[in-house]
Amino acid sequence: MAISMSRIRIILATVLMGLSLSACGYNNIPSYEEQAKAKWADVQNNYQRRADLIPNLVATVQGYAKQEKDVLTAVIEARAKATQVRIDASQLTDPEKLKQFLDAQAQLGGALGRLLAVSENYPDLKSNQNFLALQSQLEGTENRITVARRDYIEAVRVYNTELKTFPGLLWAATFFRANKPMAEFTASEGAQAPPQVKF
């Protein structure tokens, strides 16, 4: 059973076309988009980890610093607001949604900073093993958030660049017209100002 020469040409042409399409960048846009979405999921995971640590931290501080009710209330309210503002992967092209999410997280970060500053006034609290462990976990989570945001920023840069440069520009104009550039992280208002330290 011999294969005809025209059949071999068709098979060879199909293989060559498949190889050329795989090397031409057609898959870059969806691949980079999925990478950016995965990095965003990591950012959200770390913010959720921080939110999960807060009730234990507040409860520990509350046992020592009952008179700091305003600070504790501010942390609880900021956590509630931060966990209500959600942004999923389909909304990453909306800079306003991303800004709302980041503003809520910044408020929570500020409230946590005030809570940790209050702990300086309570030597017994500062030496409490539970508080020290929670504080250490919170610091580690803040570092994870920083790394996750950096990774997301890089993934978005790669994706957005692919949409604007050749050959991705051609694919974006033809097959991926619905793909929009993703919103990037921006510093929250007042982030450039140095923190106020009061003794």
Q: Is the dihedral of CA 40, 42, 48, 53 positive or negative?
A: negative
Q: Is the pLDDT of residue 152 over 60?
A: yes
Enter the tokens of residue 143.
């570092």
CA distance linking residue 15 with residue 30, whole number of Å:
22
Tell me if 11 is assigned to some domain.
Answer: no
Average pLDDT of the chain is 86
Residue 21 is assigned to a structural domain of this protein: no
Residue 194 lies in a domain: no
CATH number for the domain spanning 92: value is 1.20.1440.20
Instruction: Please determine, for residue 199, whether its predicted confidence score (pLDDT) is greater than 50.
Output: no
Quote the CA–CA distance of 6 and 55 in Å, as a whole number.
72
Domain presence at residue 72? yes
The range of the structural domain enclosing residue 82 comes to: 27-174
Q: Is 182 domain-assigned?
A: no
In a domain, 63, yes or no: yes
- Distance CA(22)–CA(151), nearest Å, equals 26
**What domain count does the chain have?**
1
> pLDDT tens digit string along 70-109?
888 999 999 999 999 988 888 999 999 999 999 999 999 9
Tell me whether residue 10 is in a domain: no
Residue 170 lies in a domain: yes
Q: Is 92 exposed, middle or buried (0-12, 13-18, 19+ CB in 10 A)?
A: buried
